[in-house]
Amino acid sequence: MIQPELKVTGYRGVWGESLNEDISISFGAAFASFTKVDSGKENPTILIGRDGRESGESIANAIIPEIEKLGVNVIYGDVLPTPTIMLSVKEKGYDGAIIITASHNPIKYNGLKFVTKGARMTNESEVEKIKSFLTSERENVVPGTLSQRDGARREIFQQENIRGDGNNISSELINIHINKILENIDVEKIRARKFKIAVDMINASACVIDPYLFEKLGVEYVALNDTPNGKFAHEPEPIEQNLKDICALMKENKCDVGFAHDPDADRLVIIDENGDYISEEYTLGFGIENVMSKNPNRNVVVNMSTSQMSADITEKYGGTCYRTKVGEANVFAGIDEHDAIIGGEGGSGCIYPTINNCRDGFVSMTLALELLATRNSTVSEMVNILPKYFMKKDKWSVEGKNTLELYEKLKTHFPNAKYNMLDGIRLDFPDQSWIHMRPSNTEPIIRMFGEAKTSERLEELYAEAKKIIS
């Protein structure tokens, strides 16, 4: 097993093993020191929130007093979705954020994601800067910082960040997020459609947003796993084999559409009116179809493993689809570079910068509902009119093998393919089929993504590639 390390996606580890209070404090203190330099402030303000996992509270309780010793003003939002935290940094002008989450990983994991003052996930160069602070910052408390004063300033700061109506800061941040979404979609169209939906909140952070958002949208909903206690009722990654309960709930209640979140609510998948799971690639596909139909000739950015469907939809409306390395920070950098109106990663998430600078499950959900309402369509009808491809995702062991040598073998074996080595290797074939291989950051495996217009062609490509890898 490769030991986890800080990446653009943050740090993830097994709680009590590769992640504990000391490791959390070390990363938290390093990020605090980075933020002081990045913001140019001796007393920057950092928002901290968690996805609901039980270990998240222990991590927060460990980090907060230690980074306060470094002069950081801490706002603790408790259970908040990742996209809510991201938007809050932008709208409230915070200097950064620490998100305590392991995203879709199993319950035994937890982790840390870091957000900079620009309301963006840390990029590769920023990660390296944070690593440079991984020393003994918490031992070097400067006299006169917030934590060493008599408590008066800290008390004033905390009072200023409690709402006048008695609710804590979480309520304000949740409302900021909901209102930002409502300002940028056609609420009346969604209300008029009178949707009945089913939603699996996985007993995590989506629970603090969904009920209030649905009320504003005027939709009737049937909830599954709607207590934010971190007790996941199934494996938390929102993929087909983990979503049998929500599919059954859809059929039982005759709902129009179903949704399933991951624990930090940046990913979302859609269930059709028949209670059938549709590929996670359609979450982004629905979003691009909606936004590009109203904003033709604009650019879109997706990662190297995202379905060709996204590119086809973009081109249908006169736009150009650009691809980046895998990773949300890389995609958003591409959106910025190409002035794209929307983008995302095929693993079930839209980045729609009009509302938020990150994958946002609630934005993805409202864009899907708005599309269905505008077109007066069912989910399955919309799937049928979008480009159809067969996709497969797999992983193979490469322990003891040189991945660069494997890439060279693939290039030799497939001479008619156009190759791109921006992120591992991607091979594009004349018939619009493709395969993308990239090494895992955490395991001695190589991940392979592939797509073709027929399942037979897809299996043929996989079989040939597997022979070379093996």
User: What's the one-letter identity of residue 196?
Assistant: K
Q: What number is the average pLDDT over the span 164-171?
A: 63
Whether 184-385 shares its CATH topology with 390-469 is answered no
Q: What number is the average pLDDT over the span 303-310?
A: 96
- Tell the residue number behind the tokens 């009178």, with chain if given: 194
State the pLDDT at residue 286.
98
State the pLDDT at residue 442.
59
More confident residue, 422 or 152: 422
- Tell the residue number behind the tokens 């603790």, with chain if given: 76
Q: Which residues contact 185 (CB under 8 A, 6 or more apart)?
A: 366, 367, 370
3-state DSSP assignment of residue 281: helix
Q: What number is the average pLDDT over the span 77-81?
A: 96
State the pLDDT at residue 398.
82
Domain 184-385 fold is Alpha-D-Glucose-1,6-Bisphosphate; Chain A, domain 3 (3.40.120)
Banded model confidence at residue 233, pLDDT cuts 50, 70, 90: very high
373-402 pLDDT tens trace: 999 999 999 999 999 999 999 988 888 788
Residue 163 confidence (pLDDT) above 70:
no
Would you list the domain boundaries of the chain?
Answer: 11-175, 184-385, 390-469
State the pLDDT at residue 124.
87
Which of 53-67, 215-229, 304-318, 456-470 comes out lowest in average pLDDT?
456-470
Q: What number is the average pLDDT over the span 101-116?
A: 95
3-state DSSP assignment of residue 159: helix
Q: Which residues contact 92 (CB under 8 A, 6 or more apart)?
A: 47, 173, 176
407-416 pLDDT tens trace: 999 999 999 9
State the pLDDT at residue 306.
96
Residue 149 confidence (pLDDT) above 70:
no
Residue 297 confidence (pLDDT) above 90:
yes
Q: What is the DSSP string of 170-190?
A: HHHHHHHHHHHHHTTS-HHHH
Mean pLDDT of the chain: 91
State the pLDDT at residue 125.
92
403-441 pLDDT tens trace: 899 999 999 999 999 999 999 999 999 999 999 999 876
Q: What number is the average pLDDT over the span 194-221?
A: 97
Are 82 and 261 spatial neighbours (Cβ–Cβ below 8 Å)?
Answer: no
Residue 139 confidence (pLDDT) above 60:
no
The count of other CB atoms within 10 Å of the CB of residue 466 is 12
Residue 158 confidence (pLDDT) above 90:
no
Banded model confidence at residue 164, pLDDT cuts 50, 70, 90: very low
State the pLDDT at residue 361.
98
Residue 137 confidence (pLDDT) above 70:
no
Q: Which residues contact 442 (CB under 8 A, 6 or more apart)?
A: 1, 2, 4, 12
24-46 pLDDT tens trace: 999 999 999 999 999 999 999 99
3-state DSSP assignment of residue 409: helix
Radius of gyration of the chain (CA): 22
271-280 pLDDT tens trace: 999 999 999 9
What percentage of the chain reaches a pLDDT higher than 90? 83
Domain 390-469 fold is TATA-Binding Protein (3.30.310)
Q: Does the model's pTM come out above 0.75?
A: yes
CA dist 119 and 91 (Å) reads 9
State the pLDDT at residue 1.
46
State the pLDDT at residue 168.
72
309-328 pLDDT tens trace: 999 999 999 999 999 999 88
Superfamily assignment of 11-175 in CATH?
Alpha-D-Glucose-1,6-Bisphosphate, subunit A, domain 3 (3.40.120.10)
State the pLDDT at residue 156.
53
Q: What number is the average pLDDT over the span 328-354?
A: 94
- Using DSSP, how many helices (H) and how many strands (E) does the chain show? 16, 18
